[in-house]
Amino acid sequence: MSSLPNLTSNYAEVFPELVKAATTASSPEPKLIVLNHQLARELGLDPQWLATDEGIDFLLGHQLPDSTTAVAQAYAGHQFGGYAPLLGDGRAILTGELTVDDQLIDIHIKGSGPTPFSRPGSDGYAALGPMLREYLVSEAVHAQGIPTSRALAVITTGRRILRETEQPAAVLIRTGPSHIRVGTFQYVRAQNDLELLQRLTNYSVQRHYPDATGSNPALALLEQVVDRQAKLLADWMHAGIIHGVMNTDNMTIAGHSIDFGPVAFLDAFDPNAVFSSIDFAGRYAYGNQPVIAEWNLARFAEALLPAIMQPGNEQVMSQDEAVRQATEAVVAFRHSYSASWAAAFNQRLGIPQADTAEIGTELLEQLRATNADFTAFFANLADVARSESIPEDIAPELATWYEQWLRLQPNADQVAEHNPVYVPRNHLVEEALTAAVSEHDFSIFHALLAAVTDPYERKDAAAHLEQPASMAYSLHYQTFCGT
């Protein structure tokens, strides 16, 4: 490339009240660890150029177009149920947006050093292991067709930082439709500035929901976000994703997954599964996630209420009526989630939709009772459908279920298409990160990355990546935010 990519600072220019200028920390000895060639090309970037010194400087935010202003974004949020009036990007910087197919795509650096929003005692940096985890998990989520931020690159900076031990510092370059969060609206609502709230509402509609119509943009935005989040949560639940930190500042308005620090995947099916080291009470347990999503959306509705009440200069709605309509919009989450869950379950089981509810409910009960591995069970369904023979080593309760299911003549090709064989199993992720960080061996990481980004096609050479962890490992496994 003969010039720097054409970044804009659209969000920063429209909302100077919601950002502060920020500078990425220097990188004494930057080294490109992993680069997403496919994503780079989708963004209109040249992967070969990105791997040059100039390209790495661009990714790190050290060399940006003169017209671009790198910023940290302000937001508030409920963290584990407790409201924090100001959080903001404490170790992340938005360097700008690319325009791809007429859509703005954020270029965002995580682990870039202290910002004006850094918490007391925080250095703003990130360690290599957590950044590789985010890269691996977000690309696995994308490969399953689940809306998510995506990883463009991981770069070590040449710094050493102290966490539990001294570790190499690294940054993650991630992309996404935007980084506007429920917490962004909560922050604006707390400013008691109706004009700013209406402006953020209109911007969010125009950027993410241009087809939303009606005389009340705030109510339309709420309805659209509720619907997208319901579909996203159904996707998470079917994938066995446990986000681990579903605070309102980690729920995006665009309806995509974000922030994968403590994310883990189910081993044995257990609605009470919790892996995050900071989720002491199990607030964000696997089975609680849909309920928490609706709770978060209620907080979003509260933030939007003044804009719902006064959508235009001449139109004013009573508070009681605004609350009623906002409540209806939030409660609609349940129907949308249930419909999305049922449709996906129908695809996974490959049977007529009318039969899915009863036999699906029975399956989940048996998976829980038998401690069956979540991913392996569904991954093997297609082979059972093709052979029409029940595995010999299966628990008697599941054998009975298999008999009922086979009588419905499941479509084996459909089953195979919707049940991944490979996911970032927790023990495999840890093995890959340990080898990469401690032994400078990235072969395990790349082998796992290759499998989880092509997750539906079984490969003989990757048979070991299908094996679940021991029950003892799963019971004691914990994830960490990496801060």
**Which residues are catalytic, by number?**
249
Q: How many Cβ atoms from other residues are within 10 Å of residue 230's Cβ?
A: 25
Residue 92: HSE in the Cβ half-sphere, 13 Å Cα cutoff: 22
Q: Which amino acid makes up residue 240?
A: G
Q: State how far the alpha carbon of 238 is from the alpha carbons of 29, 76, 213, in Å.
A: 42, 30, 31
Name the nearest CA neighbour of 140 among 466, 436, 451, 446: 451
**Alpha-carbon dihedral angle through residues 25, 27, 31, 36, given to the nearest 10 degrees:** 20
Number of neighbours of residue 450 by Cβ within 10 angstroms:
14
The rounded distance, in Å, linking the Cα atoms of 21 and 94 is 10
3-class secondary structure for the chain? CCCCCCCECHHHHHCHHHEEECCCCCCCCCEEEEECHHHHHHCCCCHHHHCCHHHHHHHCCCCCCCCCCCEEECCCEEECCEEECCCCCCCEEEEEEEEECCEEEEEEEECECCCCCCCCCCCCECEHHHHHHHHHHHHHHHHCCCCECEEEEEEEEEEEEECCCEEEEEEEEEEECCCCEHHHHHHHHHCCCHHHHHHHHHHHHHHHCCCCCCCCHHHHHHHHHHHHHHHHHHHHHHHCEECCCCCHHHCECCCCECCCCCCEECCECCCCCCCECCCCCCCCCHHHHHHHHHHHHHHHHHHHHHHHHCCECCECCCHHHHHHHHHHHHHHHHHHHHHHHHHHHHHHHCCCHHHHHHHHHHHHHHHHHHCCEHHHHHHCHHHHHHHCCCCCCCCHHHHHHHHHHHHCCCCHHHHHHHCCCCCCCHHHHHHHHHHHHHHCCCHHHHHHHHHHCCCCCCCHHHHHHHCCCCHHHHHHCCECCCC
Q: How far is CA 476 from CA 240, 470, 471, in A?
A: 18, 10, 9
CA gyration radius for the chain?
23
